[in-house]
Amino acid sequence: MLLIQLTHCTFCLGTQTMLSDFSWSLKAGQQWLVAGPSGSGKSTFFKALHGEFRLTGGRFLFKGAEDMEAFQKLKQATGFVFFQDKAPDPNQFYYQQRYNSQDADDTLTVRDYLFDGKPMEDREQEGSLHMFHVEDQLDKELIKLSNGENRKVRIIKALLKNPEILVLDSPYTGLDKASRLELNDLIDRLAGAGIHVLLTAPHGQVPVSMTHVLQLEQSKITYAGTRQSFNRPGNPAQKTKIQIPFRPPENNDFDIAVRLNRVTIRYEETLLLDRINLTIRRGEKWLLTGPNGAGKSLIASLIYADHPQSYLNDIILFDHARGRGESIWDIKDRIGFLSPEFHFYLDQEQTARQVAAGGLRDNPYAPKTLTPDTESLIKDLFRYYQMEDFIDAPMYALSTGLQRLVLFIRVIVKNPAFLLLDEPFQHFDLGMIEKSKDLLDAFCEDRTLLFISHEDAEVPGIVRKGKKMELSRGTAK
């Protein structure tokens, strides 16, 4: 039985062509992996199915319905889950709001988000919550969830629709290892129950139930067929030689970059961090790991001076105790920072070049001048990633992976002495990850690094020390 058929379809957004002469079909019993490097058009394809673009040419069918009627019926029958890093409403939310309990207390709860304010209807809905152990988080504000926890909740939201088709765009991003295994098991069970799944997935994490592969390059199909016959490109083995002239780091005159002494964070009766100790000295390279919700990003918020409870704890940053009159802007000025939440509030109207230079203004009271040397560095970095053609493009025109890459370049351009990178390689393809690891190995030789990740394959070779966060009874130790 033919479910979806695209025949020589062209999709446009305004005057811009998003997909051209695109032909593909979904038949009953098929499960599709959509593959390709960052910027290849995977999310664009899913958005086309979602009806976000105008069909300006070709023929689109869904179960006998055609064109607009087909889009409407497909949307009703499909659970779409997009994981682009974008804030739900920038007019109502701000970057640090997750850590300010009073400002977050009146925001949407997990229960309200999942059930639209209505009670659970049946045991099947209760079972969906148990898939990712979300039942204990129902009354927690959505904005307070970690990056990985948020992804789990959004997948469950789509499943509560009882969809015939499930579209998952980068569902593994931000999930810890246990959650990725749970998601694979869930997808295999859904496929076995007759639900058709379309998803993107990193190499090595593809559920066994996937039967077909759609490979994209520059928004064109390079392969569409069985998984058995598909040869996925391997991980590039050759180490990249870095020939970029980096300047010595600025503000590198400290002995202790970070010292957390028995740091505890709680909201009323909820304990989030319990007597955490961590000391990072100048020049050290650290890895911070742990399951979703263990408090890794919370530690990053304390270091980056975003969390208000940092003043209630024994914390030293750059040899100075918090609460001794130092400005948060002085702290931010010393740190090259990147996190998934940081991407939420990106100004999509800025060009890639403007965003890459944005770290020079992290201290609004003492912004740095964009010098010819810095402009040259920006060009060198875009050339290193073969992104010269995108340097003056607006951010909204770039894929999520390329947007994240520009934010990573922003960290390097800032030339900090201390890098705080919270899952910096989210949405990167394998080639981008390897090039970025090589870049960090060269750039961080005389700098201090705290790298947060769930993926062993993402950790730069220069990292030598590590701390693993653990969960205990729903709270972090």
Residue where a domain terminates, one of 226, 243, 272: 226
In this structure, what DSSP letter does residue 464 have? -
Same domain, 125 and 23: yes
Measured CA to CA, the distance from residue 9 to residue 312 in angstroms comes to 59
Domain-located, residue 211? yes
**Cβ–Cβ under 8 Å, residues 195 and 166:** yes
Measured CA to CA, the distance from residue 12 to residue 15 in angstroms comes to 7
- Residue 119 — very low, low, confident or very high, per pLDDT cuts 50/70/90? low
What total number of domains does the chain contain? 2
According to DSSP H, which parts of 273-339 are helical? Answer: 296-303, 328-334
Residue-wise pLDDT for 365-397, tens only, equals: 888 999 999 999 999 999 999 999 999 999 988
Domain-located, residue 334? yes
Using CB atoms within 10 Å of the CB of residue 14, give its burial: 0 to 12 exposed, 13 to 18 middle, 19+ buried.
exposed
Same domain, 220 and 273: no
Residue-wise pLDDT for 257-282, tens only, equals: 999 999 998 877 778 888 999 999 99
Domain-located, residue 66? yes
Same domain, 215 and 271: no
Encoded tokens for 471 = 């969960």
The distance in angstroms from the start CA to the end CA of the chain is 52
Residues paired with 265 in a beta bridge: 273
Q: How many CA atoms lie within 13 A of 127 on its CB side?
A: 6
Residue-level pLDDT at 242: 87
**Closest of 130, 129, 195, 133 to residue 162, by C-alpha:** 195
- Residue 307 — very low, low, confident or very high, per pLDDT cuts 50/70/90? confident
- Residue 145 — very low, low, confident or very high, per pLDDT cuts 50/70/90? confident
Residues 6+ apart with CB under 8 A from 64: none
Residue-level pLDDT at 308: 82
Phi and psi of 333, rounded to 5°?
-65, -25
Residue-level pLDDT at 92: 44
Measured CA to CA, the distance from residue 276 to residue 271 in angstroms comes to 12
**Cβ–Cβ under 8 Å, residues 328 and 301:** no
- Residue 154 — very low, low, confident or very high, per pLDDT cuts 50/70/90? confident
Higher pLDDT, 182 or 4: 4
Q: Does position 115 have pLDDT exceeding 70, yes or no?
A: yes
Residue-level pLDDT at 84: 58
CB atoms < 10 A from the CB of 127, how many? Answer: 10
Going from the C-alpha of 201 to that of each of 5, 12, 42, 83, the distances in angstroms are: 23, 26, 11, 12
Domain-located, residue 245? no
Higher pLDDT, 176 or 352: 352
- Residue 124 — very low, low, confident or very high, per pLDDT cuts 50/70/90? low
**Cβ–Cβ under 8 Å, residues 42 and 221:** no
Parent domain of 306: 256-476
Same domain, 214 and 261: no
Same domain, 190 and 264: no
**Cβ–Cβ under 8 Å, residues 426 and 387:** no
- Residue 340 — very low, low, confident or very high, per pLDDT cuts 50/70/90? confident
CATH number of the domain residue 465 falls in: 3.40.50.300
Among 66-70, 100-104, 220-224, the minimum mean pLDDT is found in 100-104
**Cβ–Cβ under 8 Å, residues 188 and 207:** yes
Measured CA to CA, the distance from residue 121 to residue 124 in angstroms comes to 8
Encoded tokens for 213 = 């592969």
Among 7-11, 411-415, 422-426, the minimum mean pLDDT is found in 422-426
Residue-level pLDDT at 344: 73
Top-ranked range on mean pLDDT: pick from 45-54, 165-174, 267-276: 45-54
Same domain, 220 and 266: no
Same domain, 199 and 314: no
Residue where a domain terminates, one of 178, 206, 226: 226
Q: Does position 87 have pLDDT exceeding 90, yes or no?
A: no
Domain-located, residue 231? no
Same domain, 178 and 293: no
Same domain, 374 and 454: yes
One-letter amino acid at 455 equals E
Model confidence, pTM = 0.83
At 377, is the secondary structure helix, strand, or coil?
A: helix
Q: Does position 194 have pLDDT exceeding 90, yes or no?
A: yes
**Cβ–Cβ under 8 Å, residues 230 and 33:** no
Domain-located, residue 62? yes
Q: Does position 235 have pLDDT exceeding 70, yes or no?
A: no
Residue-level pLDDT at 236: 53
Same domain, 178 and 272: no
Using CB atoms within 10 Å of the CB of residue 67, give its burial: 0 to 12 exposed, 13 to 18 middle, 19+ buried.
middle
**Cβ–Cβ under 8 Å, residues 51 and 71:** yes
Domain-located, residue 250? no
Same domain, 275 and 215: no
Same domain, 175 and 297: no
Measured CA to CA, the distance from residue 11 to residue 8 in angstroms comes to 10
Phi and psi of 155, rounded to 5°?
-65, -45
Residue where a domain terminates, one of 226, 247, 268: 226
Domain-located, residue 238? no
Strand order in the sheet with 320-321: 270-281, 256-267, 314-317, 320-321
Residue-level pLDDT at 142: 83
Measured CA to CA, the distance from residue 76 to residue 412 in angstroms comes to 44
